[in-house]
Amino acid sequence: MNSNMEKPYVVGIDIGGTNTAFGIVDARGTIVASSSIKTGSYEKVEDYVNEVCKNLLALLNANGGPDKIKGIGIGAPNGNYYNGTIEFAPNLPWKGVIPLASMFEEQLGIPTALTNDANAAAIGEMTYGAARGMKDFIMITLGTGVGSGIVVNGQMVYGHDGFAGELGHVIIRREHGRRCGCGRNGCLEAYCSATGVARTAREVLASSTENSLLRSIPAEDITSKDVYDAAIKGDALAQKIFDFTGNILGEALADFIAFSSPEAIVLFGGLAKSGDLIFKPVQKAIDDNVLAIFKGKTKLLMSELKDSDAAILGASALGWEMKN
């Protein structure tokens, strides 16, 4: 018998600033059982790990026990695959360098790997989603920030320090660029994240007198979802915001294509679900800006992973690679 028959499951743990979700996953990418806890409730990382393990063990025991698990994969902000640490994550309550993978391994006795959230999404897409069978693709996650996972020759690119794939922090506006959360100016993330779309909306509303459904919302409360809802109703100003955002993203993607000539770029996260509103301007900007030799070669795809499941699935995919 091969080990997958004896150990038919992996565990995925997705650590977000607000919630930590975890689940048991089978080889087809079905989440057999899942649960979650609030990340921010635990000031001490030891208390947090204890709580996750306690909840996870209850799930494991209801599904054949820990012996059925081949490995655990964790997706976390600022997660470093090489040494299983979370390092200086701005949105998590624990400061400094946290040896998270080994903390879980010690408690549960199951091999554990960790990577950052965007890389986890890319691995999930490659294992269970739109990038199945692809050796070269780039995953762009459009959430509160902009993250990326880069796969070349079938391998995740981690770089020499474990932190490669920060395409959200490529500077796309050198002159008068927007301030980014990272402390620099003009990053892609400052324009093409959900937060960036809301910022664009506030700027456009302030600088024009055009009628818009968005004017009924206090400017500081506008979210990217509000812009989407207005655009779907035919609001011209909201559609302009999507065109502006899509154009910037497409220009950046045209540059990324020159870097690794990917078979596909997969868009993931809230903004990607805006469908044609974002895909049309992105595709046009890619076509208008990409080097001639690459024209028409890279597919632009929407993630096939359900948002709610994707993070657990992506993290869990690391578990299959573990050596038992």
74 within 8 A of 21, measured Cβ to Cβ: no
Looking at residue 3, its pLDDT comes to 52
H helices, E strands: number in the chain: 10, 13
pLDDT at 160: 96
Q: What is the CATH number of domain 3-124+308-320?
A: 3.30.420.40
Element holding 113 (H helix, E strand): strand 112-115
Reading the chain (324 residues) residue by residue, the pLDDT tens digits are 455 668 999 999 999 888 999 999 999 899 999 999 999 899 999 999 999 999 999 999 999 999 999 999 999 989 999 999 999 888 899 989 999 999 999 999 999 999 998 999 999 999 999 999 999 999 999 988 999 999 999 999 999 999 999 999 999 999 999 999 889 999 999 999 999 999 999 999 999 999 999 999 999 999 999 999 999 999 999 999 999 999 999 999 999 999 999 999 999 988 999 999 999 999 999 999 999 999 999 999 999 988 778 889 999 999 998 875
Minimal CA–CA distance to 271: which of 295, 222, 307? 307
Q: Pinpoint the residues of the chain covered by CATH 3.30.420.40.
A: 3-124+308-320, 133-303
Q: What pLDDT does 114 receive?
A: 96
| Residue 309 confidence (pLDDT) | 84
Burial class (CB in 10 A: 0-12, 13-18, 19+), 6: exposed
Of 238, 241, 242, 191, the C-alpha closest to 216 is: 238
Homologous superfamily (CATH) for 133-303:
ATPase, nucleotide binding domain (3.30.420.40)
**Quick one: pLDDT at residue 40?**
87
Burial of 214 (0-12, 13-18, 19+ CB in 10 A): buried
Q: What is the pLDDT of residue 161?
A: 94
Q: What is the dihedral of CA 75, 81, 85, 91, to 10 degrees?
A: -40
- Residue 323 confidence (pLDDT): 72
